[in-house]
Structure 1
Amino acid sequence: MNTLPAEKIQVYFVPGLAASPKIFEYIELPSNQFEVHHLDWFLPPSGADLVDYARIMAERVTHEAPVLIGVSFGGMLIQEMARFLKPRKLIIISSIKCRDEMPRRLWVARYTRLHRLLPTGAIQNLETLTRFAFGDAVRKRLKLYERYLGMRDKEYLDWALDAIVQWDRVTPEPGLIHIHGDQDAVFPISHLGSCLRVKGGTHTMIIHRYKWFNERLPAIILEEAGSI
């Protein structure tokens, strides 16, 4: 008796702030089980808040019951996208689940608006900064930014920074799976609630610890986080 092949699970990845989907270039899921899609950033419509943006991004998801995986700011976004979709599973990486997990500097920015003074236009000149960088560590970091930054538009960056600082989610999305590195300097793990800890993982672990994800993501998607 012939049996129909199992339908593949549709997995949508959303990168972090201004990053391109290249950050997922080393992530590999078994092709017989999963079909992978990458969502890219776009310029926000005038006056759009994060929920408005999430609605438009959700329209780019063309499958029912998708798995949504978001990194950093992308993790915040997919939680808002869940309002407009019926995801099979939400997985955030190097991100936060609600405003209570924000580090103190984001709360300061929220009330002082200091983030609006950041020279976001300078990000368009990374190539120049790389040429004049002093020291190998700085030069390597700039090269990393140059490779993985996909959205350098000042309008987007100003909007995104404001969206992060003003994020007002109070309650984490039910069933959310949170994967976080214990060496994350952007969102320190000491500020977080329950999460699946990655020992030695930093904020960029989706790139530097891709083997960890390749070994574990399939089971995390298919099973409950507590069984991993």
Structure 2
Amino acid sequence: MPGLAASAAIFERIQLPEADFEIHLLEWEIPLVKESLDDYAKRIALKIKKENPVLIGVSFGGILVQEMAKHIDARKVIIISSVKSNLEFPRRMKIAKTTKAYKLIPMSLILNLENLAKFSFGAKINHRLKLYEKFLSVRDIGYLEWAVEKVILWDRTVVDESVIHIHGDMDDVFPIKYIKECSVVKGGTHIMILNKYRWFNANLGAIILGTNTTVD
């Protein structure tokens, strides 16, 4: 499951041995009116037809697959660049929950990447905007408002110890200092599923099979 509003195209460079694995990519759907995260997770879980799947989610997708695991008998749950409970949220997200500041985020600006690019400066910023334009597949204000709220208000406080957590030490969305019990990818940012794909291609298969759950 990709990250918030992202397309499954973020996994386009992830390669696993076809003899051992069959990959099924999930996409975000527009939530129903006042749909809870639990109900949404149940609805997306219905799309999985294989028994005992390994669920893998990135960022908000990592939160979602943990909720999906309540409704499906998953062999393993692996989260990437995500969190295992709201206790791993950075301070700014906790403040946003208390003050409801997340309601002030201009979703229309996020949707209009073309106009945003006109006012950006620097190669790094423009490169990131191009990535967003390529991989941001859900450009629906209702979805974005719903998704941001569901992240901020996620109520899980008890960690599922069976969840395998892979996290970058340079993640600027969920800083590593707040994360407990994870396999650390050196130099990994929040979008490391894109730019650290070689690491995932070398290690993810072994992690799924249980022959390697630590990172050098």
The residue number in structure 2 matching 1:10 is none
The residue number in structure 1 matching 2:73 is 86
Aligned mate of 2:156, from 155, 160, 169:
169
Q: Could you tell me how far apart the structure 1 residues matched to 2:104 and 2:206 are?
A: 43
Aligned mate of 2:86, from 99, 103, 119:
99
Aligned mate of 1:130, from 81, 100, 117:
117
How do residues 9-88 of structure 1 correspond to structure 2 at under 5 angstroms?
A: 14-88=1-75
Judge conservation of contact 2:54–2:74 (CA < 8 Å) in 1.
Answer: yes
1:222 aligns with 2:209: yes
Paired letter, 2:173 = V
SS at 1:179 equivalent: strand
Aligned mate of 1:153, from 137, 140, 143:
140
Q: CA deviation at 1:27?
A: 0.2
Q: CA deviation at 1:123?
A: 2.2
Judge conservation of contact 1:57–1:81 (CA < 8 Å) in 2.
Answer: yes
Q: Could you tell me how far apart the structure 2 residues matched to 1:100 and 1:200 are?
A: 23
Q: CA deviation at 1:152?
A: 1.2
Q: Could you tell me how far apart the structure 2 residues matched to 1:221 and 1:193 are?
A: 20
Q: Could you tell me how far apart the structure 1 residues matched to 2:206 and 2:114 are?
A: 40
User: Bigger CA drift: 167-176 or 200-209?
Assistant: 167-176
Paired letter, 1:43 = I
Judge conservation of contact 2:62–2:82 (CA < 8 Å) in 1.
Answer: yes
Q: Which sections of structure 2, spanning at least 5 residues, go unmatched? A: none
Percent sequence identity is: 50
Judge conservation of contact 1:181–1:202 (CA < 8 Å) in 2.
Answer: yes
Q: Could you tell me how far apart the structure 1 residues matched to 2:24 and 2:188 are?
A: 24
Judge conservation of contact 2:183–2:214 (CA < 8 Å) in 1.
Answer: no
Paired letter, 1:210 = Y
Alignment length, in residue pairs? 215
Q: Could you tell me how far apart the structure 1 residues matched to 2:102 and 2:116 are?
A: 21
SS at 1:36 equivalent: coil
Paired letter, 2:166 = I
Q: Give 1 or 2: higher strand fraction.
A: 1
Judge conservation of contact 2:203–2:212 (CA < 8 Å) in 1.
Answer: no
Q: CA deviation at 1:224?
A: 5.6
1:208 aligns with 2:195: yes
Q: Deviations over 1:163-188 (max 9, x none)?
A: 00000111122311000001111101
User: Bigger CA drift: 89-98 or 116-125?
Assistant: 116-125
Paired letter, 1:197 = V
Q: Could you tell me how far apart the structure 2 residues matched to 1:224 and 1:167 are?
A: 32
TM-score, normalised by the number of residues in structure 2: 0.96
Q: Could you tell me how far apart the structure 2 residues matched to 1:151 and 1:36 are?
A: 22
Q: Could you tell me how far apart the structure 1 residues matched to 2:40 and 2:17 are?
A: 31
- CA 1:226–1:126 in 2, change beyond 3 Å: closer, same or farther? closer
TM-score, normalised by the number of residues in structure 1: 0.91
Q: Which sections of structure 1, spanning at least 5 residues, go unmatched? A: 1-13
Judge conservation of contact 2:81–2:168 (CA < 8 Å) in 1.
Answer: yes
